[in-house]
C-alpha cells in the first residue's frame, strides 16, 4: 500500500521530460497528469498574458508512492529537472484501492 500522494506542478515546457522520468523511475505506478494553473509564481517568470491574468499555465501530476519510492523519485527529479521550477508536496493517504 502506498503511503503518500506526491503532487508535482511544473511548467508545460518540461511536462514530457517529467512524464518520461516518471515512466522510467516509477513505471509500475499509476499516475495522472492534468493541465492546470498555478498562482504565486514569481511575476518575472510569467509570460505577458499570464502577468495580466495573475496565473501561469502548469501541469499537475499526482502519483501514489511509498516513502522510499518518493525519496528515490525526488532525488532523480532533482538531478534531471534542476532549475526548472518544478514544485512538489506530499499528502498522506487515508485509503487507496481499485474497484474490480
Cα–Cα–Cα angle for 11, 89, 28, rounded to 5 degrees: 80
pLDDT at 50: 55
pLDDT, tens digit, 9 for 90 and up, residues 27-70? 788 899 999 887 765 544 556 555 555 667 889 999 999 999 99
Cell of 12: 508545460
Domains in the chain, please, with CATH?
4-92 (3.30.70.120)
Strand ranges across the sheet with 4-10? 31-38, 56-65, 4-10, 87-92
pTM for the model: 0.83
| C-alpha–C-alpha distance, residues 3 and 5, integer Å | 7
For a pLDDT cut of 90, what percent of the chain falls above it? 59
What average pLDDT does the segment 70-91 reach? 93
Amino acid at each position: 500500500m502506498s503511503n503518500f500522494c506526491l503532487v508535482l506542478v511544473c511548467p508545460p515546457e518540461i511536462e514530457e521530460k517529467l512524464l518520461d522520468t516518471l515512466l522510467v523511475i516509477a513505471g509500475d505506478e499509476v499516475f495522472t497528469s492534468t493541465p492546470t494553473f498555478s498562482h504565486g509564481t514569481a511575476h518575472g517568470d510569467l509570460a505577458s498574458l499570464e502577468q495580466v491574468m495573475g496565473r501561469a499555465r502548469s501541469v499537475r501530476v499526482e502519483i501514489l508512492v511509498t516513502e522510499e519510492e518518493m525519496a528515490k523519485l525526488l532525488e532523480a527529479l532533482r538531478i534531471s529537472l534542476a532549475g526548472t521550477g518544478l514544485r512538489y508536496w506530499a499528502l498522506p493517504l487515508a485509503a487507496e484501492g481499485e474497484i474490480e
